[in-house]
Amino acid sequence: MPVCRSIEKANQHTSIYGDTEELLGKWFQRTGKRSEIFLASKFGIVMENLQFKGIDSSAEYCKRACEASLKKLATSYIALCVFRLGSVSHVCSFS
């Protein structure tokens, strides 16, 4: 039976699910399985107090979103950070 070893999550700036990144970070620390997971993050939708404020596909926003996710996930790397809206895609990776 195949085992899923990847996690895709949206950055915390857009998450309506609350503390997803912090929970994943705690799980990584508790289990020591971070190196076994391909972690991907999406960015681009700008929210404030759970209200949509716009779309930002800039490199600066990508970097800010990824850096915030790295901190909340308590990890040093995200394998893939993607902005996708229709046919427009940007991919960046930060460690």
Q: List residues with catalytic annotation.
A: 17
Contact 39, 73 (CB under 8 A): yes
Q: Give the Cα separation of 84 and 73 in Å (integer).
A: 22
Instruction: From 94, 95, 90, 78, select the one nearest 44 (Cα to Cα).
Output: 90
CB atoms within 10 A of CB 88: 10
